[in-house]
């Protein structure tokens, strides 16, 4: 039984991705585009030359972290839709430290990253606390926290960090993740050292969940709150801890944008969508650190490659959003895929 379950957790994402891509091809056919041309353009947009590969890696970096954020909370049975807001406050905190502090790099850069972790953690702490102490559903609170983050951060950028401007100054080079070496390798793409941090974060998540007592408790609470309580675990503490760590991962994703890709923060007219895409990444990656890395690579490639589709094949970039949405549907409806697979198995016998 466990063996077939393991098989399913690997098969379902693969089948879902294939179905999503096939659906994308069908949509292209029906709207009068050539799917082969479309997917070739997508491939070239992601892997065409050293520059696009660098940009693809840059695109993957924050997605990986928001994916980890959502996955981590999922493990404790919590749904962190608030990664979006946590990214925004993390971004702000990192840039703020990058602008305001004057220190050598060994202090400045870690300080800026810590600030983003703390800001994201705080934004996760509030819904965690409300869930643990008052039983308020975290989904609604995190959605509301997203908007509070968006509007408040815009106001801070406009009135505190600048004088009614839309973008801040660039952060001090001592707080920057940008790397001349990586840029040189990739024809001056915006690739930065963040990917190393993101991969390290994935390892941290794996270690916490699989190798520590705290991780064991977090998982136990996710499986069954009442049993955990009966076993003497502090359920409230674990819920809060899970949201705090989840928020910190998402805050770190903000630092990747603030310290790595852009080096500034601008007023946002809408969400970055990094948090919402993180839900897709976590879901496809089966909430497992290694799976999240793979899913982030897939979605990063799709999103970056999409940029090439209008010029290469005339296909609007939104096709990729449709494909990603469909993949989520397929993974979420895994019940039916499982049912079909089991049915085939039975008939095979």
Partner 1 sequence: MIEVLQSLIPTVLFFSAPLIFTALGGVFSERSGVVNIGLEGLMVMGAFVGIVFNLTFADVFGSWTPWISIFVAAIIGAIFSIIHAIASVSFNANQVVSGVAINMLALGIGVYLTKQWYGKGQTDMVTEPFFRTDIPLLADIPFIGPIFFQGIYSTSYVAILFAFIAWYVLYKTPFGLRLRAVGEHPMAADTNGINVYKMRYIAVILSGAFGGLGGSVFALTIVSNFSHSTIVGQGFMALAAVIFGKWHPLGAMGAALFFGFAQSLSVIGGNIPLLESVPQVFLLIAPYVLTILALAGFIGRADAPRANGEPYIKGSR
Where on the chain is the footprint of partner 1 (CB under 8 A)?
27, 31, 79, 81, 130, 134, 136-137, 139-141, 143-145, 147-148, 151-152, 154-155, 269-270, 276, 279-280, 283, 316, 318-322, 324-326, 328-329, 331-336
Nearer to partner 1 by C-beta: 151 or 223? 151
In the complex, minimum distance from the CB of residue 325 to partner 1, in angstroms, rounded to a whole number: 4
Nearer to partner 1 by C-beta: 124 or 260? 124
Coil, strand or helix at 266: strand
In the complex, minimum distance from the CB of residue 338 to partner 1, in angstroms, rounded to a whole number: 10
Q: Please state the separation of Cα 132 from the chain's center in Å.
A: 24
Task: For residue 221, give every residue at least 6 positions away whose Cβ sits within 8 Å of its Cβ, in sequence order, or none.
Answer: 76, 77, 228, 233, 235, 238, 239, 242
In the complex, minimum distance from the CB of residue 8 to partner 1, in angstroms, rounded to a whole number: 15
In the complex, minimum distance from the CB of residue 113 to partner 1, in angstroms, rounded to a whole number: 27
Q: Please state the separation of Cα 138 from the chain's center in Å.
A: 18
Coil, strand or helix at 171: coil
Q: Please state the separation of Cα 176 from the chain's center in Å.
A: 21
Nearer to partner 1 by C-beta: 23 or 114? 23
Cα distances from 43 to residues 48, 60, 209, 322, in angstroms, run 7, 15, 35, 17
Coil, strand or helix at 192: strand
Cα distances from 108 to residues 104, 148, 179, in angstroms, run 6, 28, 16
In the complex, minimum distance from the CB of residue 105 to partner 1, in angstroms, rounded to a whole number: 34
Nearer to partner 1 by C-beta: 157 or 191? 157
In the complex, minimum distance from the CB of residue 303 to partner 1, in angstroms, rounded to a whole number: 12
- Select from 345, 39, 50, 331 the least CA-distant residue to 189: 50
Nearer to partner 1 by C-beta: 222 or 263? 222
In the complex, minimum distance from the CB of residue 148 to partner 1, in angstroms, rounded to a whole number: 5
In the complex, minimum distance from the CB of residue 337 to partner 1, in angstroms, rounded to a whole number: 9
Nearer to partner 1 by C-beta: 259 or 301? 301
- Select from 35, 105, 73, 72 the least CA-distant residue to 259: 105
Q: Which helix (H) or strand (E) holds 9?
A: helix 2-30
Nearer to partner 1 by C-beta: 144 or 170? 144
User: And the tokens for 51?
Assistant: 């520059």
| Cα 263 from Cα 177, distance rounded (Å) | 9
User: And the tokens for 274?
Assistant: 């990094």
Nearer to partner 1 by C-beta: 261 or 287? 287
For residue 258, the 8-state DSSP code is: I
């Amino acid at each position: 039984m466990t063996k077939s379950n393991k098989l399913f957790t690997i098969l379902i994402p693969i089948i879902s991705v294939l179905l999503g891509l096939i659906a994308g091809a069908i949509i292209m056919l029906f709207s009068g585009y050539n799917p082969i041309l479309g997917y070739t353009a997508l491939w070239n947009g992601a892997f065409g030359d050293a520059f696009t590969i660098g940009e693809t890696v840059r695109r993957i970096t924050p997605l990986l972290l928001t994916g980890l954020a959502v996955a981590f909370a999922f493990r404790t049975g919590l749904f962190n839709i608030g990664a979006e807001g946590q990214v925004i406050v993390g971004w702000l905190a990192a840039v703020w430290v990058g602008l305001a502090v004057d220190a050598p790099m060994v202090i400045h850069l870690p300080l800026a990253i810590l600030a983003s972790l703390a800001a994201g953690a705080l934004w996760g702490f509030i819904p965690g606390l409300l869930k643990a102490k008052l039983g308020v559903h975290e989904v609604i609170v995190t959605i509301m926290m997203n908007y509070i983050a968006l509007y408040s951060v815009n106001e801070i950028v406009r009135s505190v960090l600048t004088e009614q401007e839309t973008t801040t100054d660039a952060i001090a080079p001592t707080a920057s993740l940008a790397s001349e070496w990586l840029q040189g390798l990739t024809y001056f793409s915006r690739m930065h050292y963040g990917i190393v941090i993101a991969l390290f974060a994935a390892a941290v998540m794996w270690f916490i969940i699989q190798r520590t007592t705290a991780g064991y408790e977090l998982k136990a609470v996710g499986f069954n709150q009442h049993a955990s309580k009966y076993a003497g675990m502090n359920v409230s503490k674990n819920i809060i801890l899970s949201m705090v760590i989840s928020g910190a991962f998402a805050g770190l994703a903000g630092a990747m944008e603030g310290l790595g890709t852009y080096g500034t923060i601008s007023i946002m007219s809408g969400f970055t969508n990094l948090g919402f895409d993180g839900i897709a990444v976590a879901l496809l990656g089966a909430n497992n650190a290694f799976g999240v890395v793979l899913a982030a690579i897939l979605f990063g490639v799709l999103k970056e490659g999409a940029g090439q589709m209008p010029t290469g094949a005339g296909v609007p970039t939104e096709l990729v959003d449709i494909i990603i949405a469909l993949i989520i549907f397929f993974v979420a409806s895994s019940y039916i895929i499982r049912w079909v697979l089991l049915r085939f198995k039975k008939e095979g016998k």
